[in-house]
Structure 1
Amino acid sequence: MLKKELKLLLVILLVFMQCLYAVGVSTKASATEISKTDNILESVTMAVYDSAGQVVTGNVYDQGARVRLDYTWSLPDGHSYRAGDTYTFMLPAQFLLFNNVGGTLTTGDDQVGTFQVNKDSRQVIITFNNFIESHDNVRGTLTINTQFNKSQITGSTTQIITIPIQSGEEVFTLIFRPDVPSTISKAGVANGFNAKQIDWTVDVNKSMDSIQQAVVKDPIPAGLAVPVSVAVYSLGVKLDGTMVLGELLDSSQYTVSTDDSILAVHFADNPITHAYRIQFATAITDATKSSFVNTATLSGSNKTPVQATATVEVKHGSVLKKIATDYATGTQTISWAIQYNYNEGNIPQSAAWLSDLFNESQELIAESFQIFPVTFNGVGGEVLGSLVPSTEYTLTPQTAEGKKGFKLQFLHDISTAYKVIYKTKASKPVLDNSSVTNTVTSGGGSSDTVVKPINQVVLVKSDGHIDYNTKIVEWNIAINGDSQQMSHVVVTDTFPYKGLRLLPDTFKVKQGAGVLDPSEYTLDDSVAPEDGFIVRFKNPLTGPVTINYKTAFNLDWIQPAGSRTDFYNTAQMAWLDRWENEQTKTVTDIFYTRDEVKNNGFKSGTYDAAHKQITWTVGVNYNSKPIEQAVVEDLLESNQKLDAVTLAVYKMVIAPNGTTTLGSIVDTSEYEYQIDAANKLKLSFKQPILGPYSIVFKTSLDGQLINNATVNNTAKLFDASKPVSNDLKATVNIPHGGEYVSKKGLQSGDKINWMITINQGQSTLNDALLIDTPTVNQLLLLDTFHLFKTIVDVNGNVTKGAELTKDVDYTLVIETDASGKQTFRLHFVNPISSAYILEYQSLIAANDRDTVSNKVILSGNNVTTVTKETVQDIIVGVSSGSGTGSGVRGSLSVKKVDASNYTVLLSGATFDLYRKSDRALDRIGTMTTNENGVANFTGLLKGNYVVKESAAPAGYALDADKEYPVSLSSGENYSITVTNTKSTVPSNPPTSTPTDSPSSTPSSTPSNPPSSTPTNPPKHDSSSNDPDPTPSASTSPKPSTSPAPSGSPSPGLGTSPSPSPSLSPSPSPGLSPSPTPAQSNGSAPSLSPQPTTLDGLQPETLPVTGESSHTAVKLSGLALILLGFLLRRKWRKN
């Protein structure tokens, strides 16, 4: 039993070792990261470019300028690094990346490795291949095209960027140009109210330019004295343009002159490279001027003059000003003020007088006369001092024709400001609205006049509260507002155009706060209510009295009929004044009604974009006219369709303020309606109506072209054929009406996310076709197209809904012409009547700061043909690695042949072309081979591509897993040949069960083996990285501590700098390129292509590091077998 168990154990061990070998246990060494202590970066150089793409030769840079970084790297001889090893370093945060950057490192025709720059982590990773194991003196450069990151460059204009290298650190000390609108600015400030001088500040060279023989000139304008002293300070300017005042400069650092009233400051430093502030003060010599304009100019022998102008407003008080400060209607009193010498001038006593004259209908109230000295706060506000005693001036009356007043004479010289205040009162009752003119004149010849309106308050009429439900309005008549003595007062109220009817029970007379006893007046009963009323007061009036009453109103009562749409009310009062003189006064008030009253109805509407329905409300007979045969007509414009189910009639409820709500619904048996051929709705009431009604219904725009942003409708009410309302008009806004296509785009790394909103106005279109033409500096990504339905809310806002299916709901065709210009056509299979959203991406093939745009056109028809166009522009930012570019494009020709006979050209094979981008493959084109077996991809930019066959010709097998990498140079016309093997399909399938083994052994070699070696190995990018291959360049020299632009090329539009290592092609499976590669003559061995077959090369293998021998496993197996043999012999002996 023990023997069997040991045997079983040995078998299990043998099986375990065999499985362990099968799963690939090996002793391969994994790729490692080169230690950061082994810094392989020898040096870094930097070149900065201006907006024109030229190298900046000065030492001050724009904050967002484009930058080229050239890293020089090397590996020490005798290193232990292996294929697959990586070196990682960080790109400083001061540099901005728009997208991931990657590429290959090459030397001659050989590849050294690849690099990747991640825009988010900012990591730069170099991955080496087995080239470094077989070569000495391995070195090269890595170039990154980027720009300064403004968000990371803040504070001081001097910034330090440090990059670790082998010898320590490469330190770049950079000076950035501040964000200032101009290199010179000027400001001035007057020193308070009634200023005596202006303090000026001139900031120069804020852009920190290098200016030879710098000078600032500032002509002093008339009315200002030349400055006595000038101070110059150093000025710190931060990146955001804010300034910090520095130290005062020694006078030896500049000279000042004021010849011909021109202030000139000459700087001794030559050149100046910093900002400065010049300060000086000018005395005001002309106090009559209210503003001063001053211009300073900065210039130099190498500097075009630049100017800055400042205007300083000087606030001086007036020499003389007259003001009417208040008016009291109850006492007919006016309050006056005179502002004298508010400019604080020096006035001798002989000229220190004022003459004041006003209408003779006014009388001076002597006890109201007062004079106050005045001082001013910092903003010119007056501060009154103590009352000036009457011993310091004299006041004498004076008169002129139609005028009277006074003369004020000060008894001493004055140099301060004074305010004179007093009151006047009407000398007799004010029966009419008028005005009082008051003029003051000073001893210095100044004069000022003010006119003050005054109003009569003997008789004032107004309308009050209005109740539109009951059609009643309240009226008020105010009598004797200025408390005159009146007797035999009679008030007659009339309605000159009728339309009003007095409600006698509402008539009241008030005196003060209480109601006047009816025994104090009589109301004439002989006057009809529609004519007004007459009231007679039995006793004299000495104070204010108010009459309140209400009237009904109705436009049908207006006479002549239709002559007015508002209501007029006139009051007349007759009385005897205190001198027993007969007086009369007449006033009229107009009650302006709501539009619903004037039109006898209204119309309103709202639009529901979710259902494309308009809900209309027509209010008719607002004024409650009696109508025998009421008919409402409403023409439905813009091809509206009535939704008959929604039509309903309601009794109208009118609130006192005139607003309306729906009341009870009216039974359908009480009215009927129809739509005629002109799309006019006619609704007829079957019985006479006496009150207001609201008609509510919905119309639909579904199935129509919604071309306009508004829909207008007009309804009208008739009594049979006689109009009994005005036109009842309404306009409804249609959100996005007339909007057929809109587009917007947003850059995301090296792609642009486009979104097209289609038919947001929700017109119904047949044969809807969207044509989009992008500019040639972008490539459409075929697999990113997605078309969505939308959800539209009642307000017309659109959100994305379910996705539609291509070739079921729509077709999409992308065309590319010989120049590379692309166009896509999206055709809706069925008519559309709602909004759609199309999303897709394009790959940016532009240079930094280029404009990428798309023109999109939507066309369709619905009775008429509609074509709408829109254009969207985007300025893109692009970061790049090594490589060059030009204005030409290349092409790729794919030839399809039979694997056993190359002369047989195969049509009908479909190939997809992918562009490598950010470690991803983006499909940019699909072509099918023509009768010559050729599929042409044109308009291609330089870069790395992959060709995949998606459909084989009829009768041939598809190898869907094969990929054919292609590396395309700028402007290159490249061709490859791809083979296919015929499908093996038995003509007569066997019906019997096959035997366990075939009758013969098939041959191990095909009867027609293809050529073992292609005519020339094709180009391909062995890495998965994106950037384009470029010719090799010489190693960059040791950099300086600041950008060294002289040796760097300019990255103009369409170009970017080349790196030292360049990309070299290597063989790809399944391709038969036409050109023949040249052999490398360098000291390093070249990478020669291996023999392959046309229908598929052996897949390229990654470099392997470490031990991969199977000896250990084999020895273990032999040991176990020997152990089993010995144990078996031992058991047999036993």
Structure 2
Amino acid sequence: MSKKRFFSFVVAIIFLLQVIVPVSNVKAATRDITGAFPLITDVKITDINGKELGDNISKSSEIHINYTWSIPNDQTVNAGDYYTMQLPDEIKIATAIDQPMISPKDGSVVANIHVDTNGKTKITFTSYPSGHSDVLGGFALDCHFNQGKIGNANPIKIDFTVPGLGVVTQGPFNFQQPDPTIVKSGTYNSTTDEITWTVTANKEGVRLSNAVVVDNINNGQAFIDGSVSINGTPAVLGTNYFYDNTSRKLTINMGEITTQQVITFKTSVHNDLATKSQGTYNYTNAAMLNYDYSGTPKSLTSNTVSIPVTVKYISKDGAYDAANKRINWTIKVNESGRTINNAVVTDAIPVGLTIDASTIKVDGATGTDYTISGQNFSYDLKNISSVHTITFSTNVDSTVYNYNNYKNYSNTAFLSGDGVLSGTSSSKVVGVPTNIIQKQGAGYNSSTGVITWKIIVNNNKTNVAAGAKVTDNIPIGQVYVAGSGNLDGVALDDSGYTAATSADTGKTGTFTYTFSSAFSDTHTITFQTKVTDPKVYQANYSGNFNNSVTLTSSDINQTASATQPVSSEIISKTGAGYNYATREIT
């Protein structure tokens, strides 16, 4: 056989063998060996130096979780096989951990450990375990306690769930815990005259032994038996709580507590309020929490709460009705909602006001049980236990409107009845604006030196008799401008103006107007005066000019004054700018 034919034969044989016996290059599949055998044999929490944590541990402490591990010789662990476990919630992983698991025999890497920030741990093995026996050792994870997951009720245990081994409990640990608190609050019910007090103790959830809340009921309050509840459940007298009528001490026994406790109870202030006059009264209360903490007796006092209670038997209000020239009064009785038998309201109407009986109403309905004797008004409400509202109107005496003075009417209403202290009352002052004549400066013309004056007559719209006369003396320094008089926009002739004599040093003339007929509406008179001093209107000047007017009739004699600011400017000078290049000011 030639060499060429022999070579071809060998190649054919090799190809045939490759088809019959293919070369394998497939790796073995990795396995999850979690729980297949107890890889982790123990867990222990220590400080970062490997020492016991001791007592009074900070909840943010840096710690080590120390694991021991072992691979039994009868177990096969290949490269890529893995084991998973979960750290408890009380452990915090700030940043992911990646570290090797080392054999203490020769320092070889047995596996690689990865712990994510949620505490999920995965141990992935190298090929080392498959080629060695008696593979065992330990590792430590550097981490912290999860402060938000560590409870407040010492002692605290932390459970590690270890696949293949079970639950390993670490502790008990005594952590640094917040101090418990006690907070007091209260609400008043005006219908029952009862105050509901709320005591919130140990909202921090600290473990407390022999916990007792003590509450001394202050004078003016009466403890209501059977009103105590603990966390919404009615408490039993003699079992959960005790009350001493002599010392006025309420004691609530809670024993050992590890959670917030909410205690409510009621006190009555009804009898105390019955002795009070109108006003606001404060009822105060505080509570005390006594307890043992780690064998040491301790005590806390709550905030002092002050509950304002208003006693309002009667209140008076009023408002002026300008359109109808009357005052509308409102009397509210028994706003505190107390039971008052034989309730009677009396009201002495001020002089100058006359009650209109047709306007008397109680709770919106026409009133009937009243009497009016002169200026005295009274209403018999009989027996009441709720609020009632009395309303009525008083007409204002028309003579009030003949003046410019602001008139105040002070009115007081009294309430009498069973249990109501003598002199219980409420007052209200209502003002009536009166303005029979008014004077105004209506403007100054600096180019002519002329001032315009305005006189408003009977702004009150009262009845003014015929013959009412307006008199305005023009002061020195001004002269009347002929033909400038107007009444309600209609020109007046100058027959009402009289120039003063040369001997008169108080005025330059007198402007008058007489109303020939009676009237009840408002009238407006205007006229002008000219400033006589050229130093005022022909120079730079600023000042005030005054003028007064008087209204007289058979029952009116009132004067009003006005001021008109006067300002004249003949010449002025301002700087327009500065040229830096030429240093010139414009």
Pairwise TM-score range, normalised by the shorter structure: 0.5 to 0.7
1:432, distance to aligned residue in structure 2 (A): 1.8
Q: Is the 8 A contact 2:226 2:237 kept in 1?
A: no
Shift in alpha-carbon separation, 1:88–1:412, aligned structure 2, 3 A: closer
Matched with 1:354 is: 346
Structure 2 vs 1, CA of residues 460 and 124 (structure 1 numbering), >3 Å: closer, same or farther?
farther
CA apart distance, 1:248 = 4.9
How is 1:415-426 mapped onto 2 (pairs within 5 angstroms)? 417-424=387-394, 425-426=396-397
Residue by residue over 1:334-362, the C-alpha shift from the partner in whole angstroms, topping out at 9 and shown as x without a partner, is 2233334444556665x84525253x3x2
Separation in 1, partners of 2:356, 2:469: 34
Which residue type is aligned with residue 338 of structure 1? I
Q: How many residues in Structure 1 have an aligned counterpart in Structure 2?
A: 515
The equivalent of 1:291 in structure 2 is 282
Q: Does 1:585 align with 2:579?
A: no
The match for 2:186 is 188
Deviations 1:16-40 (A, max 9, x none): xxxxxxxxx9979699575445473
> SS in structure 1 opposite 2:286?
strand
The question of whether the paired residues in 2 share the 8 Å contact of 1:394 and 1:408 is answered with yes
Q: Which residue of 2 aligns with 1:364?
A: 354
Counterpart of 1:320 (choices 314, 317, 335) is: 314
In structure 1, the partner of 2:429 is 451
Map of 1:337 onto structure 2: 330
AA matched with 2:551: W
How far did residue 98 of structure 1 move?
3.2
Secondary structure, counterpart of 1:263 in structure 2: strand
1:141 matched residue in structure 2: 139
| 8 A contact 1:520–1:538 mirrored in 2 | no
* Cα offset, 1:309, TM superposition: 3.9
Contact 2:30 2:79 in 1 (8 A): no
Q: Give the superposition deviation at 1:160.
A: 10
TM-superposed deviation, 1:220: 0.8
- Look up the equivalent residue of 1:436 and give its one-letter code: Y
Q: Deviations over 1:61-111 (max 9, x none)?
A: 97x787764444433335444567665555566754433334454538835
Alignment partner, residue 409 of structure 2:
436
The code of the aligned residue for 1:281 comes to: K
2:74 and 2:252 map into 1 onto residues whose CA distance is 66
- Residues 354-390 of structure 1, C-alpha deviations (whole Å, 9 max, x = no match): 25253x3x22233356252xxxxxxxxxxx3644413
Cross-structure match for 2:262: 277
Name the residue aligned to 1:1089.
none
- Which structure has the higher relative contact order (CA within 8 Å, separation 6+)? 1
Distance in 2, Cα, partners of 1:265 & 1:222: 20
2:223 paired residue among 221, 226, 249: 226
Structure having the larger proportion of residues in strand = 2
Q: Indicate if the aligned counterparts of 1:369 and 1:420 stay in contact, CA closer than 8 A.
A: no
Whole-angstrom CA distance in 1 between matches of 2:440 and 2:63: 78
CA contact (8 A) 1:159 1:175 kept: yes
Q: What is the CA-CA distance between 1:299 and the residue it aligns to?
A: 0.8
Q: Which of 472, 482, 485 matches 2:460? A: 482
What CA distance in whole angstroms lies between the structure 1 residues aligned with 2:528 and 2:434?
25
Partner residue in 1 for 2:72: 76
Match of residue 631 from structure 1:
575
1:1012-1027 alignment runs, 5 A limit: none
Show the 5 A alignment for 1:798-877: none
1:673 alignment partner, one of 568, 579, 582: 579
Amino acid at match of 1:674: Y
Tell whether the 8 Å contact from 1:355 to 1:442 is kept in structure 2 after alignment: no
SS at match of 2:405: coil
| Superposed displacement of residue 427, structure 1 | 4.4
Mark the CA change 1:572 to 1:149 in structure 2 (over 3 Å): closer, same or farther: same
Pair 261,248 (structure 1): closer, same or farther in 2 beyond 3 Å: closer
Contact 1:230 1:256 in 2 (8 A): no
How far residue 587 of structure 1 moved from its aligned partner, in angstroms, is: 4.2
Please tell me the residue identity of whatever aligns with 2:368: P
In 1, Cα distance between the equivalents of 2:428 and 2:284?
Answer: 32
Judged with a 3 Å threshold, the aligned counterparts in structure 2 of structure 1 residues 353 and 454 are, in CA distance, closer, same or farther, namely closer
Q: Quote the Cα distance in structure 1 between the aligned partners of 2:53 and 2:495.
A: 101
Q: C-alpha separation between the residues in 2 aligned to 1:186 and 1:426?
A: 57
* Cα separation, 2, equivalents of 1:493 and 1:26: 133
Tell me the residue number matched to 2:96.
100
CA displacement, residues 133-183 of structure 1 (integer Å, 9 cap, x when unaligned): 445241313324234274999xxxx99987452235568999999x99964
1:574 aligns with 2:574: no
| Partner residue, 1:200 | 197
Distance 1:575 1:46, change over 3 A: same
1:1128 corresponding residue in structure 2: none
1:300 corresponds to which letter in structure 2?
Y
State TM-score, norm by structure 1: 0.38
Letter in 2 for 1:631: G
Q: Where does the alignment leave 5 or more consecutive residues of structure 1 unmatched?
A: 12-24, 236-244, 373-383, 398-404, 466-472, 511-515, 592-597, 599-622, 634-671, 677-681, 686-1134
Give the C-alpha shift of residue 223 in structure 1.
0.9
C-alpha displacement at 1:57, in angstroms?
7.0
Cα contact 2:288–2:302 (8 A) shared by 1: yes
Q: How many Å apart are 1:508 and its aligned residue? A: 8.2
Q: Secondary structure at the match of 2:579?
A: strand
In the superposition, relative to structure 1, how do residues 168 and 581 fare at CA in structure 2: closer, same or farther (>3 Å)? closer
Cα deviation for residue 292 of structure 1 reads 1.3
Residue pair 1:291, 1:311 contacting (<8 A) in 2 also:
no
Given residue 267 of structure 2, which amino acid in structure 1 is its aligned partner? Answer: T
In 2, the alpha carbon distance for the partners of 1:464 and 1:175 equals: 90
Partner of 1:898: none
Distance 1:172 1:477, change over 3 A: farther
Q: How does 1:905-944 map to 2 (within 5 A)?
A: none
| 2:575 aligned counterpart, secondary structure | strand
Q: Is the 8 A contact 1:201 1:278 kept in 2?
A: yes
Equivalent residue for 1:892? none
1:300 to 277, 286, 291: 291
Three-state SS of the structure 1 residue aligned to 2:247 is helix
Q: Deviation string for 1:840-863 (max 9, x for gaps)?
A: xxxxxxxxxxxxxxxxxxxxxxxx
Q: Distance in 2 between matches of 1:185 and 1:256?
A: 21
Where structure 2 has 5 or more consecutive residues not aligned to the other structure, the ranges are 12-22, 417-421, 444-450, 500-507, 530-534
Q: Secondary structure at the match of 1:335?
A: strand
CA shift at 1:219, angstroms?
0.7
Identity of aligned residues (%): 18
- The answer (yes or no) to whether the contact 2:68–2:139 under 8 Å persists in 1 is yes
Q: Distance in 1 between matches of 2:527 and 2:148?
A: 75
Q: In structure 2, how many angstroms separate the alpha carbons of the residues matched to 1:68 and 1:493?
A: 105
Of 396, 408, 412, 2:378 maps to: 408
* Alignment partner, residue 503 of structure 2: none
Alpha-carbon distance change, 151 to 478 in structure 1, aligned in 2, over 3 angstroms: farther
Looking at structure 1, the residues matched to 201 and 538 of structure 2 have their Cα atoms a distance apart, in angstroms, of 79
| Structure 1 residues 560-571: aligned runs within 5 Å | none
CA distance in 1: counterparts of 2:122 and 2:427, whole angstroms? 85
Residue by residue over 1:485-517, the C-alpha shift from the partner in whole angstroms, topping out at 9 and shown as x without a partner, is: 44555486999999xxx9x99x9865xxxxx54
Question: Do the aligned partners of 2:55 and 2:174 also contact (CA within 8 Å) in 1?
Answer: no
Q: Does 1:261 align with 2:261?
A: no
Offset from partner CA, 1:46-69 (integer Å, 9 cap, x none): 6799xxx976679xx97x787764
Alignment of 1:604-683 (within 5 A): 627=572, 630-632=574-576, 673-674=579-580
Distance 2:496 2:132 in 1: 127
Q: Distance in 2 between matches of 1:44 and 1:142?
A: 10
CA distance in 2, matches of 1:159, 1:474: 96
Give the direction of change, closer, same or farther, for the CA distance of 1:317–1:337 in structure 2 (3 Å limit).
farther
**What is aligned with 1:545?**
523
What is the TM-score with the length of structure 2 in the denominator?
Answer: 0.67
Cα deviation per residue 1:278-302 (whole Å; 9 max; x = unaligned)?
Answer: 3332221211362211111121244
* Other-structure match for 1:389: 368
